[in-house]
């Protein structure tokens, strides 16, 4: 099967590696506006060849789109119009409402599968790609009912190769939830990094004093602005709401801190500790799911 990967960064490159590893793709063609990325992906053997978009989409079976989400809105409809009726197009965008709305009434909408893998690292570019990035992670598919059976079958082959568990959501709920659990954490990390850099002009002090807590909290600040700025822009409504609530909690904490109200500060932190229970619940749920899947396989 000939597969075209548009966008050869961490996500697109890692998908290509997994598709090759399990033999889903017999030929991998890469497309990237960044010539350095395209050449690097070719040198690393992530793709078999790099082409311009017009050449790449000829005689292909599957197109996987992994580019900034604002660019996807203008690209997906055009791609659907240009490919034959047996080609499946899957996007990997971190926002879904605007993307889904852009092709909602397209005559070939059924050939499109709107997806979002909940996986990634703070690194970017083809050299950051690796096999196993998606293993046991969650793949969210939106508007499943608008995709054809054949498109979903093709998508399931890709998702199986990636090693993900698939869940289904509507695009609006997706964007609302990821604003809190993904996008807000990135904003927080970016601005924590900026705050510390502004205050600590002597960078040596930062490196001498930074422990594992700071390193883990600010890790996401190393993420690609080229990818995240469009995500923030496209999910501005829900991200803005999440930020307002986050700021409210910060202001409340600051108020009690200035009042030297240790009892209330302790209560806030104790309440926040409940995140352990939530995360443990998620892990327990996954363990049960794995046992159920094992029983089904047996």
What are the tens digits of pLDDT across the range 232-257?
999 999 999 999 999 999 999 999 99
Enter the pTM of the model.
0.81
pLDDT at 211: 67
What are the tens digits of pLDDT across the range 9-32?
999 999 999 999 999 999 999 999
Q: Which domains does the chain have, with CATH numbers?
A: 2-169 (3.40.50.720), 174-260 (1.10.3660.10)
Question: 159 near 166, Cβ under 8 Å?
Answer: yes
- Cβ atoms < 10 Å from Cβ of 238: 21
Question: 71 near 83, Cβ under 8 Å?
Answer: no
Q: How far apart are CA 37 and CA 43, in angstroms?
A: 10
Question: 295: helix, coil or strand?
Answer: helix
Q: How far apart are CA 34 and CA 224, in angstroms?
A: 14
Q: How far apart are CA 91 and CA 69, in angstroms?
A: 9
Confidence band (pLDDT; 50, 70, 90) for 290? very low
């Amino acid at each position: 099967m000939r597969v075209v990967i548009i966008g050869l960064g961490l996500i697109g490159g890692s998908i290509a590696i997994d598709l090759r590893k399990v033999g889903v793709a017999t030929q991998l063609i890469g497309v990237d506006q960044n010539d350095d990325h395209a050449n690097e992906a070719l040198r690393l053997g992530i793709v078999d060849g790099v082409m311009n978009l017009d050449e790449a989409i000829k005689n292909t079976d599957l197109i996987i789109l992994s580019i900034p989400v604002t660019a996807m809105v203008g690209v997906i409809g055009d791609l659907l119009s240009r490919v034959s009726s047996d080609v499946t197009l899957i996007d990997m965008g971190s926002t879904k409402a605007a993307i889904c709305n852009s092709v909602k009434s397209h005559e070939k909408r059924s050939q499109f599968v709107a997806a979002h893998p909940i996986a990634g690292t703070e690194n970017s570019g083809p050299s950051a790609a690796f096999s196993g990035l998606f293993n046991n992670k969650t793949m969210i598919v939106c508007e499943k009912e608008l995709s054809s059976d054949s498109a979903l079958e093709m998508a399931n082959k890709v998702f199986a190769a990636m090693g993900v568990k698939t869940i289904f959501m509507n695009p609006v709920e997706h964007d609302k939830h990821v604003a809190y659990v993904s996008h807000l954490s990135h904003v927080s990390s970016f601005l924590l990094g900026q705050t510390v850099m502004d205050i600590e002009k002597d960078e040596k002090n930062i490196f001498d004093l930074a422990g594992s807590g700071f390193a883990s909290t600010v890790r996401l600040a190393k993420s690609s602005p080229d990818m995240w700025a469009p995500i923030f822009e496209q999910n501005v409504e829900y991200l803005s709401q999440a930020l307002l609530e986050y700021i409210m909690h910060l202001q409340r904490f600051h108020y009690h801190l200035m009042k030297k109200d240790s009892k209330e500060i302790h209560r806030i932190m104790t309440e926040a500790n409940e995140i352990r229970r939530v995360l443990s619940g998620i892990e327990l749920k996954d363990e049960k799911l794995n046992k159920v899947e094992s029983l089904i396989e047996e």
